[in-house]
Amino acid sequence: MDQQVLLILVQDGIVNGALYALLALCLVLVFAVTRVILIPQGEFVSFAALTYATLDTGHVPASLYLLASFGAAAFLRSVWSTRGRALVFLAVETLVLPAAIAALTVWLAPLKPGVVVQAALAVAIVAPMAPYLYRLAFQPLGEASVLVLLIAAVGAHLAMTGFGLMIFGPEGARGPAFSDAMFSLGALDVSGQSLWILGLTSALMAGLYLFFEFTLLGTALRATAVNRLGARLVGIRTTQSGLIAFTLAGLIGALSGVLIAPLTTVYYDGGFLIGLKGFVAAIVGGLASYPLAVLAALAVGIVESFSSFWASAFKEVIVFAVIIPVLLWRSLRHGPAEDEE
Amino acid sequence: MTRLWPVMAMLLCLTVPWIPGLPLFSVTLGNLIGLAAIVTVGLVVLTGVGGMTSFAQASFVGFGAYTTAILSTRYGVSPWLTLPLAIAAAGIAAAAVGAITLRLSGHYLALGTIAWSVSLFYLFGNLDLVGRNDGIDGIPPLVILGWKLIDVRASFAVIGIGLVLAVIATRHLLDSRWGRAIRALRGAAGAASSCGVEVPKARLLAFVYAAVLAGFAGWLFAHLQRAVNPTPFGLNASIQYMLMAVIGGAAQLPGAILGAALVVLVNDRLQDWLPRLLGSGGNYETIAFGVLLIVVLQAAPSGLWPLLSRGRTRARTLTPAPALPVRSARPVGSPVLEVSGLRRSFGGLVAVDGLSFRLAAGELLGLIGPNGAGKSTSFNLLTGILAPDAGVVRLCGEEVTGLAAPAMARRGVARSFQHVKLASGMSVIENVALGTHLRGRASPLAGILRRDRAEEAMLFAEAARQLERVGLAGFEDRPATSLALGQQRLVEIARALCLDPTLLLLDEPAAGLRHQEKQALATLLRRLKAEGMAILLVEHDMEFVMGLADRLVVMDFGTRIAEGAPEAVRRDPAVIEAYLGGVA
């Protein structure tokens, strides 16, 4: 392997790793706040990527139907337990918002308003599905055990994959790059898309950091993560924290989808594998440490790019095998855990 | 009747498929249900009973199927000879995965098995050894007495008998010494470990057992379908097995069969109807199943079976049995427990700080102090649930500092818990029998094969004896958690006594007891003391503890503030200060 190939592989690894890092952050966040292991995270990625690709053809993406149905279902699921002013907010969140996004999309899509607007639209269409999903699947389970929530998450993943096939069909698609520019850095060619990915990822991470450190909402989320009961006692509604965590996960998942769309052909079920790589990173961080998860995500990206060079048929096998030494190490380091439900 | 059901069920399997006029298609569906039910029975043990979640059951089916496929096509090994190998392959694979993940919290196993499931799917699909995505075909059928089992009806008979055997084996396992350990994992793992159960071992056992059943189903699958490829062994198949367990009612064996039947039948109907309604090209049944899984979890978290059956615990007939051997009693007055300089902190909070005391055989020491004084932490340090930061603990002269709970239990330390820990799915006597875990020898395999009956009779006779001792004779077959809280505490004491302990630690045993029950408990403790047992008692009921204890150790803010005879302690100014916040 010459130096050039090595550099390209490392670059690929870092760019993909940055996306895995975003997903890993969301997984850690959602798990900490709601105790849900967000298996369907990957579906937000693939749905956004495919929506973005559809918008680029000037058509109205079918995912709008899914958004509207999810919103309506979430409304029906929550309306019985909501009273007073909260009912107005619920209606705005689950009925008006999807309608507004749909109107905007129907108006803008045929105009082909350019990649940035299309990307924003794709994120707007897909991201709200996450809080709707929370209202539908997880909020009613309340204080169920982590394992029950996990089984529900797997169910949500299964259903979402089915929806994905229904609305996007079995064909994959690629979205347009944000930038076609190429920069030369010594022996290495750096694409504009890579810079977009790295830039947006870093900005998002910085944004999340500021959000959690310096805003009241962020602090409330952290409090929920540390102690749910305690948070409730001081007046933080854990349901609301859950909704916010899911919204962030939806936003970031969808954004990752838009960013990854130009790099690879995305299929309706392809997000799952991408999300699972985020999981590998999140697990390395013990589902608790944000910095460790980010570092691990970069490592996962690099392992993946090298294994696709050397043994492409076994790429996925190798990436997921990374989890084994990590679990082994965790297992040896910690004493036996006693799960008492 | 209950004894006869396996025979009846097997006879049905041998006759039903040949009923004239029965469409072949429904026999095929029956075969799918049977195979899935065998896997789901394993999940009942793992998830419903043991409280662990695996999304790799289909991979274990794959291990069984591929093992026999390779051996019988490439090396011409008879399918009957590959059966143990196929089962072993699945079991060993599970042991490897389990060894890595089972010591961690439950969700690591679930996540680990998802990753493992995906990665194996790609491995099966890309390895030449297993024929890549094309798989292996031309697998020889099973042959019984020269009769080749190729017909769908014959397959039904074989699968049905296999399912009956799997259910019997599982019943036997759950009703054995190790089975009780597995049943205690959910909700009472701490109690099991203080009874000497190596909890990670019990977890591994449940996981390997579930994989073995999956491997068995895989072996059947390979020889009845006569071809294997990676598709039925992927993650989606594993999710479907989980769905079956959840729908049926993950804690019950009949629920596994009900769940498997529902999912297979619904799947078949959906694949027929949905494309007609919605047009082809979708994978609509996955949507239906995903939604169904969530709806069932929300609406009927314990599945459909409990809604159909009346929740009854079966009465156990106790057979007279010889008494178990007991530990030689320590002479009254000889040192049992010596604690010096015990210290433990949680972050900045020092919960126990330099605690020292001694306890002799035949002595009852009361450990008292205000809430938050560090009494329960001391208990956890002395019983191996927590490891101390500093200090030395000696038991009968042997240093035992920092030993884990099962090791302490082996040395004769038994305890009850402040927050009662009884396994909710077990009857009173089964909970008590958990305490005899270390006094039995039978292996899980002996349990499955029912070679443990003589020993089990002895263990249950001992449990019944201890239950009578604490005054709960007649409650044997009640569900343990249906008792009043005070009685549940007595069940814990009976369980602790089943360890034949040298040292008994009781955490607020009198809380929730009525006056007469308290007196009975006091009489029992005096008798145990007279027999030479050393007893350490944490109690808030001052009248109770003053009347019983030979000496008292008073703790406040993690340190010992007074020690001595009850009367002297009662007058100690430091104690009054601690309890009443100033001279009253």
Q: Which of B7-21, B233-247, B272-286 has the lowest mean pLDDT?
A: B272-286
At B537, is the pLDDT very low, low, confident or very high (cuts 50, 70, 90)? very high
What pLDDT score does A150 carry? 87
Tokens of A322: 């990374």
Q: Quote the strand ranges of chain A, DSSP E.
A: 182-185, 188-191
**Residues B553, B367: contact at Cβ < 8 Å?**
yes
Question: Checking phi first, is residue B210 left (phi over 0); if not, alpha (psi -120 to 50) or beta?
Answer: alpha
Chain B, 213 to 242: residues with Cβ < 8 Å from chain A are: 236, 239, 242
Contact partners, residue B271, CB within 8 Å, separation at least 6: B285
Q: Which of B307, B324, B383, B374 is nearest to B345 (CA)?
A: B374
Residue for token digits 């054995």? B176
Q: How far apart are the first and last CA of chain B?
A: 70
- Residues in B closer than 8 angstroms to A339, CB to CB, are 51, 105-106, 189
- Using an 8 Å Cβ cutoff, are B103 and B200 in contact? yes
Contact A67, A128 (CB under 8 A): yes
The rounded distance, in Å, linking the Cα atoms of B230 and B127 is 11
Cβ pairs A/B, distance under 8 A: 162
User: Touching check for B54 and chain A: CB below 8 Å?
Assistant: no
Going by the DSSP 8-state scheme, the letter that residue B324 receives in this structure is: P
Residue A250 in tokens: 């939806």
Whole-prediction pTM: 0.90
Look at chain B and count its residues.
Answer: 584
Query: By the CB < 8 Å criterion, does B285 face chain A?
Result: yes
Helix axes of B235-248 and B24-43: crossing angle, nearest 10 degrees: 80
The stretch A69-83 carries a mean pLDDT of 89
- Quickly tell me which residue has 């001081």 as its tokens: A234
C-alpha distances in Å from residue B267, one per residue of A104, A160, B218, B263, B339 = 39, 17, 20, 6, 63
Q: Are A95 and A84 in contact (CB under 8 A)?
A: no
- Report pLDDT for A4: 80
Of B118, B188, B298, the CB nearest to A320: B118
**A146, A161, A337: residue with CB nearest B103:** A337
What structural domains and CATH numbers belong to chain B?
Answer: 29-261 (no CATH), 332-409+503-508+533-584 (3.40.50.300), 413-500 (3.40.50.300)
User: How many Å apart are CA A25 and CA B265, to the nearest integer?
Assistant: 40
Cα separation, B349 vs B371, whole angstroms: 15
Tokens of B523: 């009489």
pLDDT(A129) > 70: yes
Cβ pair B428, B474 in contact under 8 A: no
Q: What is the mean pLDDT of chain B?
A: 88
Contact with chain A for residue B278, Cβ under 8 A: yes
Section B12-22 average pLDDT: 86
What does the pLDDT look like over A244-270, one tens digit per residue? 999 999 999 999 999 999 888 899 888
Closest Cβ opposite residue A137 in set B199, B287, B294? B294
- pLDDT for residue B173 is more than 90: yes
Distance from the A203 Cα atom to the nearest Cα atom in chain B, whole angstroms: 29
Residue in A148, A161, A338 nearest the CB of B286: A161
User: Is the backbone of residue A35 left (phi > 0), alpha (psi -120 to 50) or beta?
Assistant: left
Nearest Cα residue to B65 out of B45, B43, B35: B35
Give the H/E segment covering residue B403: none
Burial class (CB in 10 A: 0-12, 13-18, 19+), A309: middle
- Cβ A159–B115 below 8 Å, yes or no? no
- Shortest CB distance from B298 goes to which of A141, A147, A316? A141
Query: pLDDT for A206-222, tens place per residue?
Result: 888 888 888 888 888 88
Q: Which residues on B lie below 8 Å from A137 (Cβ)?
A: 294
More confident residue, B438 or B6: B438
Please compute the mean of the pLDDT values over residues B379-403 and round it to a whole number. Answer: 92
The angle at the Cα of B164, spanning B162 to B167, to the nearest 5 degrees, equals 110
> Which of these ranges, A53-57, A94-98, B129-133, B432-436, has the smallest mean pLDDT?
B129-133
Residues with Cβ within 8 Å of B439's Cβ and at least 6 positions away in sequence, in order, are B324, B325, B459, B462, B498, B499, B500
Residue B530 touches partner A, C-beta closer than 8 Å: no
Tokens 């615990």, located at residue: B313
Q: What is d(CA B77, CA A5) in angstroms, rounded to the nearest whole number?
A: 48
Amino acid at B73: T
Q: pLDDT digits over B342-377, tens only?
A: 999 988 888 999 899 999 999 999 998 888 888 889
Tell me how many degrees the CA angle A146-A152-A156 measures, rounded to the nearest 5.
140
CA nearest neighbour of B163 among B32, B342, B331, B358? B32
Whether residue B306 has pLDDT greater than 80 = no
Which residues in A lie closer than 8 A to residue B51 (C-beta atoms)? Answer: 147, 339, 341
For residues A25-32, give the mean pLDDT: 87
Closest C-alpha to A231, from B249, A222, A205, B368: A222
Identify the burial level of A51 via C-beta atoms within 10 angstroms of its C-beta, where 0-12 means exposed, 13-18 middle and 19 or more buried: buried
Q: Where are the beta strands (DSSP E) in A168-272?
A: 182-185, 188-191
Residue type, B318: L
Find the helix or strand (DSSP H, E) in which B576 lies. Answer: helix B573-580
Distance CA A125, CA A205 (A): 22
**pLDDT (0 to 100) of residue B450:** 93
pLDDT (0 to 100) of residue B522: 92
CB B409 within 8 A of CB B195: yes
pLDDT at residue A273, as a whole number = 87
Q: Is B281 on the interface with A (CB under 8 A)?
A: yes
Query: Whole-angstrom Cα distance, residue B412 to residue B237?
Result: 47
pLDDT digits (tens, 9 = 90+) for B491-513: 999 999 999 999 999 999 988 88
pLDDT at residue A179, rounded to an integer:
79
Among B181, B223, B177, B244, which Cα is nearest to B67's?
B223
Residue A146 Ramachandran class (φ > 0 left, ψ -120 to 50 alpha, else beta): alpha
Across B197-208, average pLDDT: 94
Q: Which two tokens stand for residue B260?
A: 């498997």
Q: Give A59's Cβ-side CA count (13 Å radius).
A: 9
CA separation, residue B582 to residues B374, B375, B560, B572 (Å): 21, 22, 18, 12
How many Cβ atoms sit within 10 Å of the Cβ of residue B337?
A: 23
What is the percent of chain B with per-residue pLDDT over 90, rounded to a whole number?
47
Region B169-197 average pLDDT:
93
